[in-house]
Structure 1
C-alpha cells in the first residue's frame, strides 16, 4: 500500500464513527468547530499517554492483566476524562445530555485515530489488518467514549447524582477498556470467539445509551410543546 492509502485507511474509521455519533444528536447538533477541537485534543494526548505507558511498563512489567488495566486502560481513559471534564463539561454548548456523548466520542476517536496512524506507519500494515483495527480498537474507543459521555451527561443534568456519574464516567470506560485489552492478550489464537460477543454487547449497550441520552434532552420536551401549540 502507498503511504497515502495507509493514511486514508487509518484515518477513515475514526472520521466515519465520529460522523455517525455526531448525526445521532437529534435535537441540537453541536458546533462542528467545537467537536473538531475536542477531536484534536484527543490527538494531542496520545503523546503524554505513550510516555506514561512506557514508564508503567518499566515499573510494572508486562503481566497481561496489569498491562491491560493499569498500563493501557488507566492512562488512556483518565486523560480522555480529564480533557472532557476540564475543557467542555462546564461549557455553555454542553446543554443537553447527548452532548456528553458527542464530545467524549470526539476525544476518544481523536486518540484512536492518531494511535491507528502510528500503528499503521510503524508496523507496515496491509488493508485487511487496518480493517480489523477499524472494527476492534477504533470501534472500541468509540464505545468507551459513549460510556464516558453518557455519564457526563447524567452528571451535568442530575446535580444530586453528579459525583456518582462523574466517577462512573471514568470507571466504566476504564473497566471495559481493560476487559477489551485483556481479552486480546489472554485469548491469543482464539480471541475472536470472545471479542465477537464482547463487541456485540458494547455496541448494543452503547446504542441504548445513545437512545436514552436523546430521550432525556430538555429540547425534546420543548419540541413536543411547540407541536402541541401548533
Structure 2
C-alpha cells in the first residue's frame, strides 16, 4: 500500500498543479478522468503493441552502441510512447466541445500522460521500492508531464487554427524530441558524466513548459481583461 501511495503521489501532485493552472474555464472532471484512464490503459496497450512491432522491424542487440541507443531513445521509446498519448488527445479529447480554448490542449495532454505515467510508475516502484519512487518523483514523472505540456501547447493551438495538421504534428515531434533527448542521455550512462545531459534537457523542457502554460493562460478565450 505504501509503495502504491509513493508511486501515485507525484502523478496526483502534477494533476492538481495543472488543474489549478486552468484559471478561467475548468474542464469537466469526468472528461479529465476519462483522459487519465485512457492514458493509463489504452496508451499502455498501444505502446506495448508498437514496441512489439518495432522489435520485429528494428531489432536491436542486447548490447547497444551509442548510435543504437540513439535509435532506441528517439525512434523506439520516444516515438512509441508519445504517439500512444498523441492518439488519445487527437482523436478523443481534441474533438470534444469542452475543448474550447488553447489551454485545454495542455490539460488534456497532461491527463493522458499522467495516466500513462501512473501505470508505468507503479510497475517501476513495485520492482525497485521506495528509492525508485523518490527518484522517479523528481525525474521520470515530471518528464512525462513536460513532454505532454509541449505537445498540448501546439495541439491546443491546432484546434483553433487552419493549420491543424501541422500544429498537431509539431506538438508530437517536440514531445518526441525532448523525450528522446532525456532517455538518450540516460541510456548511454556508460559514458562518464553524460547522464547530466538528461537533467539539463529536462530543465530546459520545464522552462519552456512554464512559458507555454503562461502564454496559453494569457490568450484564454475566457480571460476577463
Gaps of 5+ in 1: 225-230
1:227 counterpart residue number = none
2-structure distance, mates of 1:76, 1:95: 26
2:18 counterpart residue number = 21
2:29 counterpart residue number = 32
Cα deviation, 1:48-100, whole Å, max 9, x if unaligned, reads: 31232133234423321111112211111111111111101121101111111
Are the equivalent residues in 1 in contact too, given 2:39–2:85 (CA < 8 A)? yes
TM-score by length of structure 2 reads 0.90
Deviation at 1:191, TM superposition (A): 4.4
1:83 counterpart residue number = 88
Residue 176 (structure 2) aligned to one of 174, 177, 193: 174
Matched, 1:113 2:118: yes
Match runs of 1:44-123 below 5 Å: 44=41, 45-62=43-60, 63-121=68-126, 123=127
Are the equivalent residues in 1 in contact too, given 2:158–2:168 (CA < 8 A)? yes
Corresponding pairs, count: 216
Q: Which moved more, 1:72-81 or 1:34-43?
A: 72-81
Residue 190 (structure 1) aligned to one of 187, 190, 193: 193
Match runs of 1:182-221 below 5 Å: 182-188=184-190, 190-220=193-223
2-structure distance, mates of 1:14, 1:151: 22
Deviation at 1:114, TM superposition (A): 0.2
TM-score by length of structure 1 reads 0.89
RMSD (Å) for aligned C-alpha atoms? 1.5
**Runs of 4+ that moved beyond 3 A:** none
Alpha carbons of structure 1 residues 11 and 27: separation in structure 2 relative to 1, 3 Å: same
